[in-house]
Amino acid sequence: LSIPEKGNEAAEAVQGLWNYLLKVDSEEKLALVREMMPAVEAGLAAFSNAEVLEAIEARRKGKPPERKPLRTAEFEQLISQPTETPGELPAEDEDFFALTATRDRPPAGVAQVVLASRLREVRAQIGLTRLEPATPDLQGEYDLGVQSAPLGLLADWLPASEIHGEGVFVRLDEKAVQAWEARTAVKNRGRELLAGYEQWAAAYENPPPFPGTRFYMLHSLSHLLISAISLECGYAASAIHERIYCAPANDDRPMAAILLSTGSAGSEGTLGGLVEQGRDLRQHLRRAFDLGVLCS
């Protein structure tokens, strides 16, 4: 998912213009390049010469920018989106455009709703596994020990597709989540889930860590909301994807949020119906609750 990373904007801008900047080693040369090339000036307009030179030097030395864990970086960018202004629209070439919904107050237990009318996703086939899939951890990183077979021994490229779509980001109130986690019934259910996990994990040499009851709650809520929203937004439930942002209360950055998004290489994914459903979240949560009551 292509969400600009907060704090590394200058490095990303330099990376995109590197062919024009690779020989720049002084402020004088940078000023000349910015003046002579409108495309460079447009790409670096938000940054001072000092910031750009620092990013150029770091890239030249092969020093990658310091990056936060994947889900944490996305979460911080999404919750920092400005409030919506009537009539504000994304630029034609903008790949990411999101605004915090303000038309109605979020339902109880929901801290923030962000409407992402532009989302870009790149899907690449990097290999294959048999018997056991490569499973990401809570940060979305695939570092849990499952080795994939390469697509080819001599291939120096990967098949990939670029997908444009939209999404609704729902951040739950952290205090409400912690109060829910403190309930006796939730703790008892958590022990049952942990016992089942330990029985399953015993068969594996390097199993993923137990995700915790917070993750189960977010995952369940996500699927119930997908079922509820799909009845209204014009997308099939199978076309709506979930992205879970989960970190426990004792983490440096607690997270309890979900991103429901859709996108495809065809026409489905850019219809605009999903974003508008974020404005009726109270109604969809009620329907999701009713669906949950009937769920085994």
Cα–Cα distance measured from residue 288 to residue 168, given in angstroms and rounded to the nearest whole number: 16
Mean of pLDDT values over 5-17: 82
Other CB atoms within a 10 A radius of the CB of residue 112 amount to 16
Backbone angles phi, psi at 169, to 5 degrees: -105, 125
Cα–Cα distance measured from residue 173 to residue 255, given in angstroms and rounded to the nearest whole number: 9
The confidence band for 146, taking pLDDT boundaries of 50, 70 and 90, is: low
Backbone angles phi, psi at 164, to 5 degrees: -115, 140
Helices (H) and strands (E) in the chain, counts: 11, 5
Each residue's pLDDT tens digit, 217-254 = 999 999 999 999 988 888 888 889 999 999 999 998 99
Each residue's pLDDT tens digit, 210-226 = 999 999 999 999 999 99
Output the pLDDT for position 136. 75
Each residue's pLDDT tens digit, 270-289 = 556 888 888 889 999 999 99
C-beta separation of 167 from 262 below 8 A: yes
